[in-house]
Amino acid sequence: MAKRKRQFTEAKIERMIQEGRGQGSGKDYLPWLTIQDVPSEGRATRGVGWTTGRRHQLLSDIERDYFYLLDYCDDVTDIREQFPLLPLEETQMIAEKIGVEHPKDPKTGIPVVMTTDFLITYRDKTLARTVKPSAELENERTIVSRACLACDEQLGLDAGTSLALFRHFIARKIWSVDMTERIIPTLPAKDFSEKHSDIRLEAKGG
């Protein structure tokens, strides 16, 4: 199978605009870039969002993880990934003004359309966010904590079942935790409580 040409030309950029890339909102939004358009860093993901009801184009593990946080938040009403900074002339002017070279396609030399990883609608505000990998965030964590593994053994469950249920209860907001704190499976579970059924129904995804 022939590989898709990833080089950007003026004709390709114009065609992408005509296709509606980077336009629309909610379920009708089309990302400027898709997984096929660029080589991804890490494992690219196409995930259907609870917030938008559409399949998202996430180009790295860290984009995927940040997307999960956005999709979990009740105050986020729209998530637009790979959002283009158009018109191109404006980013070129900004680059010239601050004295930096505008990004170009390495093969064609054509200035490329810059993007922000996420354009987020949060309450009544629109926020642009770009996420970058960090060595600290990329460290691998232990898959089955000792407490969950002991629970699996005592109940005769497959290894990892209790930990999966723990994560599921948090994702569905059955258990309430401080989402500003990093959840590390190797540490004791603390400071979480059970949500009442009327609150649980407010969680996205049904």
Q: What is the pLDDT of residue 135?
A: 52
Which one has a higher pLDDT value, 190 or 120? 120
Residue-wise pLDDT for 41-77, tens only, equals: 556 778 799 999 999 999 888 889 899 999 999 999 9
Give the lowest-confidence range in 31-35, 117-121, 129-133. 129-133
C-alpha dist (Å) from residue 11 to 17, 56, 206: 10, 25, 43
pLDDT confidence bin for 134, thresholds 50/70/90: low
Contact present, 183 and 170 (Cβ < 8 Å): yes
The listed range with the strongest mean pLDDT (120-129, 132-141, 162-171, 173-182) is: 120-129
Our CA dihedral for 156, 160, 161, 167, rounded to 10 degrees, sits at 150
Domain boundaries, the chain: 10-136, 142-200
CATH architecture of 10-136: 3-Layer(aba) Sandwich (3.40)
The Cα–Cα gap between 107 and 188 comes to 52
Give the model confidence (pLDDT) of 4-15 as tens digits.
566 788 899 999
101 C-beta neighbours (distance < 10 Å), count? 8
Please state, in angstroms and rounded to a whole number, the distance separating the CA atoms of residues 175 and 2: 48
- Do 51 and 28 form a contact (C-beta atoms < 8 A)? no
pTM value is 0.63
Provide, rounded to the nearest whole percent, the portion of the chain with pLDDT above 70: 64
Instruction: Check whether 168 has a pLDDT greater than 80.
Output: no
Q: How far apart are CA 113 and CA 22, in angstroms?
A: 11
Would the pLDDT of 197 be above 80?
A: no
pLDDT value at 136 more than 50: no
Please, which residues have CB within 8 angstroms of residue 7's CB and are 6 or more apart in sequence?
105, 107, 108
Torsion of CA 184, 185, 190, 194, to 10 degrees: 110
* Position 199 confidence tier, pLDDT thresholds 50, 70, 90: very low
